[in-house]
Every structure is written in structure tokens, then in C-alpha cells.
Amino acid sequence: MTQKVWVADTNFIYEGLQETFGQYKIALVSTVKQELDKHKTALSEELKWKARQANRFIFEHYDNFIHDTKEYNPEEILGEAYSRDIMDNRIVACAKENGYGILTNDLNMYTTAKDFGLEVKSYNEQDTTLEMYKGFKEVKLSSGELIEFNITSLGENVYDLNINEYLILTDELGNQEVFIWTGESHERVKENLRFTSDLLGEFKARDIYQLIAMDSIIRNQFTMIRGHAGTAKTQSALSYAIQEVRQGRNYDKLIVITNNLPAKNAWYNGWVKGSLLEKLMDSSIGNMLSSKLGDKDYVQDLVKANKLEIIPLSDVRGWEATPNSIVLISEAQNFNISAMQLAIQRIPETCKLIIEGDNETQLDDKSFEGLNNGMTRVSEIFKGQDYFGTVELQNIYRSQLARQADLMTRE
């Protein structure tokens, strides 16, 4: 199957080309190269810097691109209303003539490309056409149909589920049953799951979605949990991990990988002094662990006892997770594709991996948005693998304040 070719416009080359390099087969047209050359002598220092950086990157990866030197006449290809004096029109004409897609961050070019039926993608967009895999399907049935399903359909994939995808069946009386499709049959999910430890007490599901998350954590080597603030993403993951580590079952240590950024539109109050552990303990990951586990002393005691390890993303290359560990990637919305790939590649067979985050409302840097988000890519790549499960938690339980505050960023 021939790989689709995409023509990149200038603003995508400035913001998107390096970040998504390798994901697309890209054609560079002469119009764009001319604009890059012009920007090297622009009045704006920022624009000059971007142009020089882009030209160097293209030079270093020259053979990875298609170099299209043809001049396209948009008036002939698109129509008389589309002047060749406008560079964007020439790029759209190139895509139209060759059947290319377009990579752009420019809204006008985006809509123009759509007008001509071209496939178009943006590095910065939150792609609303991409509905992330929730990890479950919900179906409403009558009581009779629910009974019939249990009798006749447990061995048939009647709802076209992926392997390890969950099925929530609800009848008109509100009765619910939850199954997981194993690839061979629907297996009923146990309703009385509990995670218990001396540090966190008992954690049990407050709704069907949390139950799915708990089952996936137990069942699968790799689980991804998504949800807004207060849905118990971190609590469910930590409750399981601490239970296993404290009771010495199959896992000896909890390892937390963090890309420790300040919250969006927030700044650090000066430099944090001390050792790496002290710096981490005074950061967001340290605050999270302290608030969940009791206080900083508990966290540091676990570290000293070799039951807990906190690894910054910046130190992950060359590192490998300790065998028989549970690895938690926390606040995973702040990982782009390459960072997430790097972290996952550090996990050996005997470890369990849990990713938790909110890549819908809690992104702390624009470089993690849209198609470059690591959680989004995980959803696409691992969906249907027999060792992977995921769930999008639906309900906020932290407080009525948290539930109301969630509405502040919704349309």
C-alpha cells in the first residue's frame, strides 16, 4: 500500500515539522522553500531564527523529504479566483494536482483545502474528528434482551468489540452488567473488586467506569486511565500499586515516571534547592504523592526502603525499569509521542504499566496538543492488543466544587 504524501506549508514547518517528524511522508514545494529563504532576512528576529532552524533541519534530513520543484498555477488548477500571487493558493494547487494531503496551522488554508475536498491536518488543532477510544461500549437493552444475551451471545462478538474492550449493558430498569471481550468470549467482570493497603485504606468502585479501570489494572500488563480532575485516575492506580508493594505480592516496587512541568499559565517561585529527590518532593509530583499517601515523610520512607522510585522523564533514556515493578506514568497528558514512546520502551516483561492523565482539559503546554499527544497515540497503537486495556472515567467525585469548576472550560 502506497504511503500518502502530505505537502507542508511554512507555518507547519516552523511549528510541527520537527515535532511530528517520521509520522508523515512530506513533500516540500519550491514555493515554501522560497518563503523560508525570504524569512532568513526578515525584520523579526524570531522569524529569522525559525527560518534558519527549519532550513538546517531540512538540510540534515534531506533524503527524508520529497522535493517538488514544479511551479503550480492555481488559476488553472483551482479556478480564476485563486491568484498565483498568493503562496497559499500555490500550495493548495500542488496538493490538488497530485492528490496530496496538506499539513498547515493556518485556518484560511485549512478551510480552502477543505473546500477542494483535500485531507488536511494541523499540528496545533485539537482534532475533534478524532474520537478517542474509550475502552468500552454502552448498550441499552430490554430486560428480555439482556437475559437473551447471557444465554445466546456470550461467545459471539455481536457488538464488534476490540480485544479487551468492555461492554456495559443496561436494561430499562437500570440493571447493569459488565463484560470484557477476550477475543473468544464475553467474560463477566466481577463487581466486588477492592484495593486495600495500610497507607490508602480501601478503594472500591463508585461507578461502573471505575470498576472497569480496576479490572483492567488487575487483568492487563498495560492500562491507560483517562478522565477529568477528580475522577479517581491517580487514586485507583496508586491504591492498586501500594496494595501490591506493601503486601509483597507479585511486585516489589512502584516506579513513577513524571514530566514535571508547572501547571499551564503558572510559574515556579524561584529555584528549588537540594538533591534530586528534594527537588521532586517540592514539585507537583511530590505534592501529588504526599497528598495521596499522607505526607512527605511517608513518601521519603518508601523511597528509602526501595519501595518507591521517582524518575523524571529527562533521565529515562538509557534507564530500564526494575523487574517486577509497577510503573506509573503520572500526568501523562504532558507527554508528546516521542516522549511516551521512550518511556514505554523502558518497561520489561515482568513489569505492569499504568498511564493516567487528562489529555482533554489539563494539557500544560501547546506542544502536547492534538495529534502529537502521547496518550492519543497510545490509544491508536495499543487498541486491541491482548495485554492492553483503557477506560475513560466519566464522573467527578472529589467535591461539588470540582464538578462545577469542570464546567469552566467546557463550551
pLDDT band at 272 (very low <50, low <70, confident <90, very high): low
Cell numbers representing residue 309 in the block: 522510585
Region 319-344 average pLDDT: 91
Please state, for a pLDDT cut of 90, what percent of the chain lies above it.
47
Q: Is 128's pLDDT higher than 50?
A: no
- Asked which of 75-89, 108-122, 138-152, 255-269 is least confident by mean pLDDT, the reply is 255-269
Give me the sign of the Cα torsion angle 89, 91, 94, 95: negative
Per-residue pLDDT, 22: 83
CA-CA distance, 255 to 290, in Å (whole number)?
15
More confident residue, 408 or 52: 52
Q: Is 1's pLDDT higher than 80?
A: no
Q: pLDDT (tens digit, 9 = 90+) per residue, 47-70?
A: 888 889 899 999 999 999 999 999
CA-CA distance, 201 to 298, in Å (whole number)?
14
Per-residue pLDDT, 180: 96
Closest CA to 255 of 190, 185, 308: 308
Per-residue pLDDT, 133: 87
Secondary structure in 3-state letters for 29-91 = EHHHHHHHHHHCCCCCHHHHHHHHHHHHHHHHCHHHCEEECCCCCHHHHCCCCCCCCCHHHHH
pLDDT band at 292 (very low <50, low <70, confident <90, very high): confident
- Classify 170 as helix, strand or coil: strand
Per-residue pLDDT, 153: 92
Per-residue pLDDT, 114: 86
Q: Is 269's pLDDT higher than 60?
A: no
Per-residue pLDDT, 369: 72
Q: Is 225's pLDDT higher than 50?
A: yes
Q: Is 267's pLDDT higher than 60?
A: no
Region 212-217 average pLDDT: 97
Q: How far is CA 285 from CA 281, 309, 345, in A?
A: 7, 12, 22
More confident residue, 286 or 62: 62
* 19-33, 193-207, 368-382, range with greatest mean pLDDT: 193-207
pLDDT band at 193 (very low <50, low <70, confident <90, very high): very high
- Classify 257 as helix, strand or coil: strand
